[in-house]
Structure 1
Amino acid sequence: MPWKSKGVRAEAADATGARLARQATVEVAGVLGKRDMSRADLARLMDVSPGRVSQILSGDENLTLRSIAAVAEALELDVQISFVEPKVVHQDSAAMGQGSSDAFVYTH
């Protein structure tokens, strides 16, 4: 049975993946803002259509490491992925769905 069909752990992985994708797109948007660049500028650097960049940065697409690497390469940045111990989640915040892990994607 594929890992994706294993219930609660798969749902947690999906939620964490969605959070990391949002974090990555926010990081890229921040870099573009600091460099006074548009998505069209990024598209030119990546040699893709502006629509493709919008897909990547929309948060709707399941970002792959390859997509993140392509953005980083175009922006001449390195990407670091770190696995760290999770925060201690108190029962009250876990019950409210506010618990999360501390897996981060950094661009430099």
Structure 2
Amino acid sequence: MPWKGKGPKGEAAELAGAQLARQATVEVAGLLGKRDMSRADLARLMDVSPGRVSQILSGDENLTLRSLAAVAEALELDVKISFVEPKDDGGRRALSRGDDSFVCAP
């Protein structure tokens, strides 16, 4: 469902949401790689079809916190979400924390 705001703020929120979803799916793919696991392995752990895992990780759908929580639960991990002060240059950046977490900061 699109962000309800209109204009530049709504568009910025849409872009930020899409970026966060991409980052989350990249993080999950990286975790699977580190654990030498396939999407089918994750599907078995989540008790869902491999197609459902592909939907979650494709970036084509609006990734929900519940979907992320289900992935984390299956992988026996916690999810951290951090809000940080914006950087002065106004550019968006992703910070890799090196501990299987990420921060998307304005």
Q: Tell me the number of residue pairs that the alignment of Structure 1 and Structure 2 aligns.
A: 97
Kindly name which structure, 1 or 2, has the bigger radius of gyration based on alpha carbons. 1
Instruction: Report the Cα distance in structure 2 between the residues aligned to 1:6 and 1:14, rounded to whole angstroms.
Output: 10
| Alignment partner, residue 79 of structure 2 | 79
Give ranges in structure 2 of 5+ residues lacking alignment: none
| Alignment partner, residue 50 of structure 1 | 50
Instruction: Report the Cα distance in structure 2 between the residues aligned to 1:10 and 1:101, rounded to whole angstroms.
Output: 19
Higher relative contact order (CA 8 A, sep 6+): 1
Instruction: Report the Cα distance in structure 1 between the residues aligned to 2:94 and 2:84, rounded to whole angstroms.
Output: 6
Report the TM-score, using the length of structure 1 for normalisation.
0.81
Give ranges in structure 1 of 5+ residues lacking alignment: 91-98
Instruction: Report the Cα distance in structure 2 between the residues aligned to 1:36 and 1:101, rounded to whole angstroms.
Output: 28
Report the TM-score, using the length of structure 2 for normalisation.
0.83
Which structure has the highest helix share of the two?
1
